[in-house]
Amino acid sequence: MTESGPLATKRCSNCGGEYLLAFFRHSGGGGRVDHSSDKRQLHRDRCIGCESTIERSEMLDRQLRRKATEARRRHGKRLQELGVIRKRDDLETVFGWSLDKMVDDIKRTIGEGCPYCTLPVVSEDDFGRVTLEILNPDHSPYYATNVRWCCSSCNAEKHRLSTDDWGARQTMWRRWRLNEARRESDPLAFAFLASNRHEEKTLPLW
Ligand SMILES: [Zn+2]
Ligand SMILES: [Zn+2]
């Protein structure tokens, strides 16, 4: 480990990698750098790579917690008005709406896409499309069995459509995904799938 000069390095306390000092933020209040002391002391213990990743995941966590809190508050208010629960705290203490569990579930939905249409539920930093669905409003709002996170379109449409139409829609989503996969794996053989798309009729599929 070089102790001074432009090639001075430091080992990150988080990932263990050894990097040039430029890859560590300055510690302290951003005052003048004291050139006489060991420069490594003037830099933070974690490298910029690790700090950025940790900051980003903490920021995401805070945003998702806000979203979960807001969803629980909104549903609590509504369910209380409907007389389903006695007080808003019931959602957490009686029906298992734990914030940690909710945040985990939102994260999973962001990672895997909507459980119904499988389309992505986020764009950049917008989590607006992840919504909480009460599966059966006639049953008690137990989080483990009667709550699911899905995209806002599916959430709205599921409650608008009849059970039959919703069931048919689910099957067609599966068929559509299969067709997408087929076209991807063999564009020529499955070119007929795109033949009804007017604007693409004369274009090759790749
Ligand atoms: Zn690191
Ligand atoms: Zn969906």
List, for the chain, all residue ranges whose pLDDT scores fall below the cut of 50: 200-201, 203-206
Query: For position 206, what pLDDT does the model report?
Result: 43
pLDDT score of 6: 73
Q: Is the separation of the CB atoms in 130 and 109 below 8 Å?
A: yes
Task: Kindly give the distance from the C-alpha atom of residue 48 to the centroid of ligand 2, in angstroms, as a whole number.
Answer: 37
Instruction: Tell me the residues surrounding ligand 1 (ion) with CB < 5 Å.
Output: 12, 14-15, 47, 50
Q: What is the pLDDT of residues 45-92, one digit of tens each?
A: 999 999 999 999 999 899 999 999 999 999 999 999 999 999 989 999
Helix axes 48-81, 99-112, angle to 10 degrees: 110
pLDDT at 3: 59
The pLDDT score that the predictor gives to residue 20 is 95
Query: What's this model's pTM, rounded to 2 decimal places?
Result: 0.71
For residue 43, the CA-to-ligand 2 centroid distance in Å is 46
Look up residue 27 and give its DSSP letter: P
∠ CA 124-128-132, nearest 5°, is: 130
SS (H, E, C) 122-149: CECCECCCEEEEECCCCCCCCHHHHEEE
Instruction: Please tell me the distance between residue 37's alpha carbon and the centre of ligand 1 in angstroms.
Output: 23
What's the 180 CA to ligand 2 centre distance in angstroms? 16
**How high is the pLDDT of residue 205?**
46
Task: Kindly state the tokens that stand for 33.
Answer: 């750098």
What's the pLDDT at 143?
97
